[in-house]
Amino acid sequence: MKVHETAFMTSMFRAMDETLSKDVFSKLWNNQKTKVWVDAYLNEVSSEEAKTHCVRNRFFLERISQLYHEKQVDRVINFGSGFSMYPFLLNKSIQHIEIDKPEVIDYKKDKISDWISKGKLPLRDIHFIGADFSKDYEEYILSELKAFKSKRHTFILLEGVLFFLNKSQANRIFDFFNKIQKKGDFIGSVSFDDSIQKKKAFARLQNFFLSKNLTTTKGDYLTLNNDFYKNRTSYSVIENKDYFDYSKELDNTINTNATDILNENFYLLEKQN
Ligand SMILES: C[S@@+](CC[C@H](N)C(=O)[O-])C[C@H]1O[C@@H](n2cnc3c(N)ncnc32)[C@H](O)[C@@H]1O
């Protein structure tokens, strides 16, 4: 399994409960190969994983939408965008820049333009950049971003990606965000905190990826405590919720034993200077 194939799985999870995720377009990415992995994953790792992904997507969808309506955000830069469909779920005046590994971006770009031309998706202002966050990417992304007006207010999203990076790559990408953002811009990020390491579901998750020979930059997966975010000097954490907190707000009934849930933390940061 290649890391981008986890993006197909994430999309399929969102399609499994559209009322919860509010993502009515993710089903376009569904395919038989992913269905086999998704079924195995739900069975072997945690049956709650479809809902945890729906709730995560919904959190960022609602936050970006709210910030857009409050005129605080009009550009979304999605780092490790995978096959997420935010551009089509948000107001059409928002500009979207989607960044992922070149092979993911090339594939997504072709599919999206085909679906737009066939009327399956509405037209949106989307730009694609291929880059690898485990290599030297800063100069290249900066040069690509120069083509866009800097006046826009950005929301950077890092959803489902940190897990695959190591600590120094994680620090490096946040330093890069600081470089490209202005005061009043936002970051939305997702990570597991260290307490997940003791959960059996997390061991099962690691075993699942190991058994599928998932290639990442490092064998073990990154977890980050709140301090990682709180200690970012130019940013303040304005919201921190997890799957359980946000499920309450959405009236999402949790069916699985809490110890079998891969609980992720959702963070919203605002740049202060
Ligand atoms: C689990 S998927 C999440 C996709 C999307 N953000 C979502 O939530 O639906 C992880 C994504 O991160 C991307 N990714 C992982 N490591 C990366 C790297 N080193 N450079 C660029 N993208 C990376 C993968 O290609 C994949 O699309």
- Nearest CA owner, ligand 1 atom 2: 7
Rounded average pLDDT over 204-224 = 80
Long-range contacts of 100-103 (CB under 8 A, 24+ apart): 100/4, 100/7, 100/130, 100/131, 101/3, 101/4, 101/130, 101/131, 101/132, 102/130, 102/131, 102/132, 103/4, 103/130
84-121 pLDDT, tens digit per residue, is: 999 999 999 999 999 999 999 999 999 999 999 999 99
Best mutation site among 164, 187, 189 for ligand 1, i.e. most ligand atoms within 8 A of its Cβ?
A: 164
Q: Is any atom of ligand 1 closer than 6 Å to the C-beta of 222?
A: no
pLDDT at 11: 98
Q: Which of 16, 28, 83, 100 to mutate to test the pocket of ligand 1 (most atoms within 8 A of CB)?
A: 100
Taking only the tens place, the pLDDT of each residue in 148-175 is 877 899 999 999 999 999 999 999 999 9
Element (H, E) at 270: strand 265-271
For 39, which DSSP code? H
Residue 227 identity: D
Indicate the residue type of 208.
F
- Residue numbers of the domain that contains 238: 5-271
- Confidence bin at 213 (pLDDT 50/70/90): confident
pTM of the model: 0.97
Does residue 216 register a pLDDT over 70? no
Q: Which atom of ligand 1 is nearest to the CA of 10?
A: 9
Q: How far is the CA of 267 from the centre of ligand 1 (A)?
A: 17
| Mutation pick for ligand 1 pocket among 3, 10, 136 (CB with most ligand atoms within 8 Å) | 3
What per-residue confidence (pLDDT) applies to 212? 85
pLDDT at position 237 is: 98
Domain containing 99 — which CATH number? 3.40.50.150
Helix (H, G, I), strand (E, B) or coil at 134: coil
**5-59 residue pLDDT tens:** 899 999 999 999 999 999 999 999 999 999 999 999 999 999 999 999 999 999 9
Residue pointed to by tokens 């940061």: 269
- Work out how many domains the chain is built from and give that number: 1
Per-residue pLDDT, 221: 86
Q: Whose CA is nearest to atom 12 of ligand 1?
A: 80
pLDDT, position 215: 60
